[in-house]
A and B are shown apart, each in its own frame.
Chain A
């Protein structure tokens, strides 16, 4: 009797509705994977759905083996069990999670939902007819936690079984082991690792992040927006030199970068930093423009970041492309850099200058003054040798002016000539106009 009455599926949380609708979509997205599942499902129960949940659970277990403090994995695991109909297991997981991570407010909320779902209806995260007053008294906090739940779950599910790669990372130089990508629209930070040869980098971690309170690209000091662009970590500021709200430390990035400054953007102090000690995580849109991680996650990426080297590419939406597209874009840009290098070596100044756009600028020069200088220097050259190494290529997030795609090349340049030689780290900004890539900025 006990079982009969109390284990009836008094299951209400719409979390699960979300999951189930997603599962269908996802299954359609990835054909190979779906076919796979179909075959296996046919053997067992023709129950695709339970297999998918089974997959998700296995994935969470793997994450937890990697990192027992992956509280997000515990949270999702609870939700997946709930999806499977295993309410008591889901409750047990959330109960233990709330004890292990008492500052993880979302976990408390979901735990409450699961408890209520046993005896009533839960229509949304923290929303039930039994607790109507919650929504009126705590609407702001609740909607923030709902958003956090949404982003954590959705970002994970969206990327699952997605084999596409971000076109932002076209090549990582030999000294650049890891690159960081931040997608503002999904509140996710990705750590990618360089692979041998010309293979696309591989995703090694991804984390939920909070970004600026206001949507959109940063343009001015105090606008509470997170900038979008290709940046590099400049330094590390340890905890003891910071107020508590920055958590275990901070990695400043070079906002405003050359392009930002060229556009007249202002502001400073855009950091990747941790979370104040009273919280496990922050709401999705919470910072003044910084990218905020949990202290645990920041601890993880700290091992991967080299100040002065590690790129941080922040986009509203990353450009996820299939392998072939990625490879083509990489090839194009490698060709552009190589052509520029050879044209420079050729001693033909016009050929060399054809690599630059009329909008070109660099410190103290525009295209005209730059051309004049190059022509003047060329008169005394009898030979030039340019060697490029440690080349990284990034396609710029979101298009440049008039929707023209942009890219950033970062490399070590060895220059030898009859009257001058240098070894410098160089950065080029490139822009594509009428299917031709040209150099927009050159600096070292």
Chain B
């Protein structure tokens, strides 16, 4: 009776999009009203501040000019490949025409515009699967309850780069500057911050793309909601001339990434020869670190609330919150680092819990 196989794609991707029959009968412009026919796809829109291209596409759509609207979305995708909204609406158009395969592909691309979306989707999937497992267990009276530990994926770093908005200039305490991890320099907004030569740390994070081209737009619709704390370009001048806090944050991010990747050599390379672990020899400490880094099945280290304070002698003090998760243990500590700039970049000379 249930013999019809619907789709063979692996479930973890959005592979299995199956729209109910009612979708095909849904008026193309279903907007937010999904009360009548159980709308399953919903176009985004109706925001006063919407980018005009987006609005134009929507108007075309509303007037029934689907092809032109689709074209406009396609061109938006070309120009702003990191903006998820056009993917969504383009997919709605395809789905409404019954081309679910195409809609599925476009939605998958939309998910991939942002590491966060895909991870959220994956985690939500995992939750649903786990809930289903639990329910199946009750249906079939499994005995092995709670054997399964739900493993959700944490994001190690913010994949959306914060915007440094120049116009929000206020005077702040001189030495403490709060930044979010890995701020990318935005030339237009931060003229005071010169683009520093690439440090090893910057190379380490170079793979992460920025969203500046989109995020300078102030449309609430188009700007992903991240609680970005604006950094103070005016404060930069009060740091020692060579100190680039973004570079320092990048170093620590790379350090956390090496730890997460469970590559002890890369992790240990961040420590300066001057670094002396408390209460034990450097060799003993390194051996212990190697063991601890390699042992768990997986590790995720994320950093937040990073505060960089410049010190004298090419040194900075960094306070941050370290979120550690592994297959066996998780915690969340506040730490203080002292980093020193050497010829080969910034290195950790001191690390302690505070």
Contact = CB atoms under 8 A, between A and B. Distances in A.
Interface in A1-22: 1, 3-18, 20
A1 B138 contact: no
Interface residues of A, number: 60
A10 B140 contact: no
A18 B14 CA distance: 23
A86 interface: yes
Nearest to A150: B1
A105 B40 contact: no
A272 B292 CA distance: 65
Interface string B1-35: 11111111111001111111111010000000010
A123 B39 CA distance: 22
Contacts of B14: 8, 10
A154 B2 CA distance: 12
Contact of A108 (B18, B20, B117, B139): B139
Interface of B: 1-11, 14-23, 25, 34, 37-44, 84-85, 88, 91-92, 95, 103, 107, 110-111, 117, 121, 124-125, 128-129, 131-141
Interface string A18-31: 10100000000000
B135 A115 contact: yes
Nearest to A114: B132
A205 interface: no
Contact of A85 (B4, B6, B16, B40): B40
Interface stretch (A137-145, A190-198, A258-266): A137-145
Contacts of A47: 22, 25, 37
Contacts of A107: 139
B23 A108 contact: no
Nearest to A3: B42
A14 B20 contact: no
Contact of B141 (A20, A83, A105): A105
A84 B20 contact: yes
Contacts, number: 188
Contacts of A120: 11, 15-16, 125, 129
Interface stretch (A125-133, A299-307, A423-431): A125-133
B125 A1 contact: no
A303 B5 CA distance: 45
Contact of A123 (B5, B22, B134, B139): B5
B38 A1 contact: no
A131 B139 CA distance: 14
A45 interface: yes
> Which 4 A-B pairs give the minimum distances between C-beta atoms?
A120-B11, A85-B38, A9-B40, A109-B139
Contacts of B19: 8-9, 11, 85
A94 to B, nearest CB: 8
B7 A49 contact: no
Contact of B129 (A9, A84, A105, A130): A130
A55 B3 CA distance: 26
Contacts of B129: 115-116, 119-120, 130
B22 A129 contact: no
B88 A5 contact: yes
B38 A84 contact: yes
A330 B5 CA distance: 48
A106 B139 CA distance: 6
Given A47-B22, A120-B125, A131 B132 contact: yes
B136 A112 contact: yes
Nearest to A14: B2
Given A111-B135, A142-B140, A85 B23 contact: yes
22 contacts: A1-B117, A4-B41, A4-B88, A4-B92, A5-B121, A8-B95, A9-B19, A16-B20, A49-B21, A50-B25, A85-B39, A105-B139, A105-B140, A109-B135, A111-B135, A112-B131, A116-B129, A121-B15, A129-B11, A131-B132, A134-B140, A154-B1
A85 B20 contact: yes
Contacts of B5: 121, 123
B11 A138 contact: no
A276 to B, nearest CB: 13
Contacts of A109: 135-136, 139-140
A154 B1 CA distance: 10
Contact of A9 (B25, B41, B84, B125): B41
A125 B11 CA distance: 17
A5 B136 contact: no
A124 interface: yes
B6 A14 contact: yes
Contact of A98 (B15, B103, B107, B135): B135
Contacts of B136: 108-109, 112, 126, 131, 134
